[in-house]
Structure 1
Amino acid sequence: MTDLPFGFSSSGDDEDRHDSGDNSGGKGDDNPGRGPGGQNPFGFGGAGAPGFDPSAFDPAALGQMFSQLGSLFSGMGSGMSAGGSAGPVNYQLAGNLARQQIGRFTPVSTGETKAVEDAIRLAEVWLDDAAVFPSGISTSVAWTPVQWLEETMPTWRRLCDPVAVQLSKTWESNLPAEAAQFAGPMMGMLTQMSGMAFGTQLGQGLGQLAKEVLGGTDIGLPLAPDGVAVLLPEAIATFTDGLEQPAQEVLVFLAAREAAAVRLFAHVPWLRQRLLSTVEEYARGISIDFSGIEQLTTDLDPTQLFSDPSKLEELISSSASFEPKTTPEQQAALTRLETLLALIEGWVEQVVTHALGDRIPGTGALTETMRRRRASGGPAEQTFATLIGLELRPRKVREASTLWRQLLEASDVATRDGVWAHPDLIPDSTDLDNPAAFVDRVIGGDTSAFDDPIAELERTLAQEREQGGRQNNTDEQDGDKNNGGTSG
């Protein structure tokens, strides 16, 4: 990235020189738009140009200058934004940049596909005794990084769109009056630039993630379509190279993690939506501190925009430095998301340990490796933390795993997995800090409390309707008897 926003060039760029028709450096009265340093790309005379009268400043000329500036910048995205610039994020640009980031990759072979299918099939058999949820897999696939990118993009849209939309609305509705006066004629261009900026960061992050992820649920989110279990052989081979474990055991271990997560998302219908709605809750609270741009527009002399186009570039580039403020409501949403991701990861850990612990000797070591891998993060996760303010790695995985283990030790698999019956029943962040108290509440109370309360309410209403219907039938029969007796 250059000092100017999104890679824009300065007014002396080659593209501007190609439009000039000559390189005379401002000589001659037939082109007063040239400044002492070279061509003025906006076609207006500067303060030092012949005939320039500051008192004759025409506000309409500012709109014309913005229009010409927009035309100048519009060529920047040529070939990348076409067909993908509509909406708050330029996803075509994101996809193109991600593919460039991925670079060369190895196609999935027939043998690798069969190995993945066999590993997932074996893991499914072992998981049957470790969880109350049955298999949720309809298809097992082996993907390349590019396939992962293409197949998971719909989920990334759901994650990023709410944040980008709200950020755009906040920008437009809260821009100070002075800044709005300048930016109004070019707000459409700023919206497009914002979409390209989001697309650029998203593409860089996805490109890096595509080379790192090992499966469809590797980062805790259900990125693949429903019922699809995914492993990425190339990334798994790289991951295995640094371990002292047999490659086949590593593959089965990762297959078990993927299969366990797919079971959870398949049989806990509210879970996927809760993850995505928490992101939307975060997005609704976005606000921006505009004090910086207020100061900038207060100190800016409009005539400087004519004499020094770099001032306008400074005004535009300043928009890249405004970051959203985190409100208490947003922080609460982020805490809920982090807790939910930790609970998912901790549950998967415990289920896989239960299923594989006696069958694969290296399960404990592999589990600890995955913990460290998630905790260390990487450039891709840092990108998403900057882009949408969300950490893709939870901090309390160890605490969540301990909670699920203690609950299983004090009860059974059905009680442990029954906690997922409704979102109001799952542990919160304070429960992760004190798992014993949560276990006591579950074990000490009526276990029927973990039934779905909504379903219980529906059953009660149905019983009341049925009783009401029987009462109505009785009343009608009594009425018919009374009418018959009267008429006789």
Structure 2
Amino acid sequence: MTNSPDRPDEPEDSGIPPELEQVLRGLTGGRDLDPQMVEMLRGMGLDQVDPQMLQMVAGQVQSMFASADESGSVDLGVATDIARKTVAVQGDPTVASAVDDEARQAVSVANLWLDAVTDLDHTGLVGRAWSRSEWVEATMPVWRELVDPIAIGVGDAMGNALTKQLGALGEGGLPEGLVPPGTNPAAMMGQMAPMLRRMQGSMFSVQLGQAVGTLAGEILTAGEVSLPLVPAPNVVLMPEAIDAFAQGLEIDAPQARLHLAVRESARTRLFHAVPWVAPQLLAAVRDYAADTTIDTDAIEEGLRSIDPTDAEAMQQALAGRLFAPQQSSAQKAALARLETLLALVEGWVDVVTAAAVKPHLPQADALGEAIRRRRASGGPAEKTFAGLVGLELRPRRLRDAANLFAALEASGGAEARDAAWSHPDVAPDAADLDDPLGYVERVRSDAKGDDWDAGLDALLRGETGGDRPTDS
């Protein structure tokens, strides 16, 4: 834009309605509008739109993109708002104080039972009953952190694909009057790139909100997906989902609540008492997301069939998952770490929970098997989330991990089972899940070597009364 020589501090009239100009400035970071963009908007007839209608549309657009940035990053406010609206449609009653008391009591009992089977610390852990919207509010910052790299990557790929398509079309391939004569459409798209990234970031935020909101209606406890979404001291139960789960199994609801309280308490203890587990889980998800390769060929193919000026058609194209992440070598490595850790966490939780509830709950076996099948298959919301980020949060090798921890317990008791978490270097890996007995034997051999070294050291310091360490 140029300034008038008589009034150099005032911008020249662009010829388009001020409401539209205000929206466009907001989407371009407050910068002056490019003259070619202004001409394009005139060619589309937007300077003739009814001002009242335009003002209403402008308000909606500004609301949607108010806090979006040019990187295409997930908008936390938009995602959270959409997730809350999603759970409201499902029905999300406020948790009554009596229901919250039941959760506190269930977690207190769960910790008493767990104390008998594991020494992992649970100091300060407190039971909570949350509504779906409370879970959304508490966990959405973590979800955003995990998927942000994918949102930015998809936005860049979408903009590049659209620029490439328009460049291939050229001026003659676009509707007459859409761009000024002599304008390079691809160059214009480059100038509009920040706006497109804002739009894509907001659309991805909507999709994330829908996925998390749907997931909130299905989870039984805050950490059921095996990620540390809610930090200690909260051990969170989802009462509406637990009641429906118990009813579907035709199992007594208090038993189901206690069983799930034990599982969630065990999982929270693990994240709380073993400081390296939670960071490594989240790091594996972030590493996977950060190296996501967007299928630009699929995006370009989809854009060939739509009008590039039709925003609604573009959004439908995105909703159709035109981006299909392909696994790079780095992603495969991150996925292997993630799947192994997910399996180890849930396998340990499975074994510890079974030991804790067996003496107390008559339907413990049926509940345990139902939960294992549920985690192995994944619910509809998990599939929705997998479609959004290209990643399934399922412990595929849960039974293998459970067998490994059961073998450790059979060999050296609960202490040997829990010692597997003492350091990431000694924790089981994917190969150990293939050969749990070999892992147990190696652990026993290492323990025997440590005992022999300790005995020799004591002998040299004269603390054993002359007894020599033996190999037996």
How far did residue 311 of structure 1 move?
5.0
Q: Distance in 2 between matches of 1:447 and 1:270?
A: 26
How far did residue 204 of structure 1 move?
1.1
Q: Distance in 1 between matches of 2:385 and 2:336?
A: 16
How far did residue 371 of structure 1 move?
1.1
How far did residue 385 of structure 1 move?
0.8
How far did residue 257 of structure 1 move?
0.7
Q: Distance in 1 between matches of 2:234 and 2:270?
A: 13
How far did residue 148 of structure 1 move?
0.9
Q: Are 2:145 and 1:158 equivalent residues in the alignment?
A: yes
- One-letter code aligned to 2:96: S
Which residue of structure 2 lines up, in the alignment, with residue 381 of structure 1? 382
Are the aligned partners of 1:167 and 1:286 in contact in 2 as well (CA < 8 Å)? no
Q: Distance in 2 between matches of 1:287 and 1:406?
A: 40
TM-score, structure 1 as length reference: 0.71
Which residue of structure 2 lines up, in the alignment, with residue 392 of structure 1? 393
Q: Are 2:66 and 1:82 equivalent residues in the alignment?
A: yes
Are the aligned partners of 2:203 and 2:315 in contact in 1 as well (CA < 8 Å)? no
Which residue of structure 2 lines up, in the alignment, with residue 140 of structure 1? 127
How far did residue 74 of structure 1 move?
6.2
Out of 73, 79, 99, which is 1:94 matched to?
79
Q: Distance in 2 between matches of 1:335 and 1:77?
A: 42
Unaligned runs of 5+ in 2: 1-16, 18-33, 47-53, 169-185, 452-472
1:111-134 superposed Cα distances (whole Å, 9 cap, x missing partner)? 111111111111101101211202
Q: Distance in 1 between matches of 2:67 and 2:129?
A: 30
Q: Distance in 1 between matches of 2:390 and 2:302?
A: 26
Are the aligned partners of 1:91 and 1:199 in contact in 2 as well (CA < 8 Å)? yes
Question: SS of 1:421's equivalent?
Answer: coil
Quick check: which has more Rg, 1 or 2? 1
Q: Distance in 1 between matches of 2:431 and 2:332?
A: 15
- One-letter code aligned to 1:251: R
CA RMSD of aligned residues (A): 3.2
Which residue of structure 2 lines up, in the alignment, with residue 310 of structure 1? 307
How far did residue 262 of structure 1 move?
0.8
- One-letter code aligned to 2:365: G
Which residue of structure 2 lines up, in the alignment, with residue 218 of structure 1? 224
Unaligned runs of 5+ in 1: 1-18, 20-58, 301-308, 451-488
Q: Are 2:108 and 1:121 equivalent residues in the alignment?
A: yes
1:209-258 superposed Cα distances (whole Å, 9 cap, x missing partner)? 11111112111111113321111111111111122332221111111111
1:331-373 superposed Cα distances (whole Å, 9 cap, x missing partner)? 2211211111111111001001111112212111111010111
Q: Are 2:296 and 1:290 equivalent residues in the alignment?
A: yes
- One-letter code aligned to 1:101: T
Which residue of structure 2 lines up, in the alignment, with residue 353 of structure 1? 354
Q: Distance in 1 between matches of 2:448 and 2:40?
A: 70
User: Cα gap change, 1:233/1:319 in structure 2, threshold over 3 Å: closer, same or farther?
Assistant: closer
Out of 99, 102, 106, which is 2:93 matched to?
106
Are the aligned partners of 2:324 and 2:390 in contact in 1 as well (CA < 8 Å)? no
- One-letter code aligned to 2:441: D
Q: Are 2:251 and 1:245 equivalent residues in the alignment?
A: yes
Which residue of structure 1 lines up, in the alignment, with residue 213 of structure 2? 207
TM alignment of 1:399-438, pairs within 5 A: 399-438=400-439
Which residue of structure 1 lines up, in the alignment, with residue 26 of structure 2? none
Q: Distance in 1 between matches of 2:227 and 2:428?
A: 19
How far did residue 397 of structure 1 move?
0.9
Which residue of structure 1 lines up, in the alignment, with residue 280 of structure 2? 274
How far did residue 92 of structure 1 move?
2.1
- One-letter code aligned to 1:112: V
Are the aligned partners of 1:427 and 1:438 in contact in 2 as well (CA < 8 Å)? yes
Are the aligned partners of 2:221 and 2:237 in contact in 1 as well (CA < 8 Å)? yes
How far did residue 80 of structure 1 move?
4.0
How far did residue 100 of structure 1 move?
2.1
Which residue of structure 2 lines up, in the alignment, with residue 462 of structure 1? none
Q: Distance in 1 between matches of 2:43 and 2:326?
A: 33
Q: Distance in 2 between matches of 1:447 and 1:313?
A: 71
How far did residue 181 of structure 1 move?
3.1
TM-score, structure 2 as length reference: 0.73
How far did residue 172 of structure 1 move?
6.6
Question: SS of 1:324's equivalent?
Answer: coil
- One-letter code aligned to 1:143: W
How far did residue 143 of structure 1 move?
0.7
Q: Distance in 2 between matches of 1:66 and 1:318?
A: 23
Count of residues in Structure 1 that have an aligned counterpart in Structure 2? 383
How far did residue 157 of structure 1 move?
2.0
Question: SS of 1:310's equivalent?
Answer: coil
Are the aligned partners of 2:155 and 2:197 in contact in 1 as well (CA < 8 Å)? yes
User: Cα gap change, 1:363/1:67 in structure 2, threshold over 3 Å: closer, same or farther?
Assistant: farther
How far did residue 318 of structure 1 move?
9.4
Which residue of structure 1 lines up, in the alignment, with residue 40 of structure 2? 65
Are the aligned partners of 1:288 and 1:325 in contact in 2 as well (CA < 8 Å)? yes
Q: Distance in 2 between matches of 1:387 and 1:84?
A: 19
How far did residue 99 of structure 1 move?
1.9
Question: SS of 2:220's equivalent?
Answer: coil
Which residue of structure 2 lines up, in the alignment, with residue 235 of structure 1? 241
Deviates more, 1:78-87 or 1:422-431: 78-87
Which residue of structure 1 lines up, in the alignment, with residue 342 of structure 2? 341
How far did residue 381 of structure 1 move?
0.7
User: Cα gap change, 1:313/1:84 in structure 2, threshold over 3 Å: closer, same or farther?
Assistant: closer
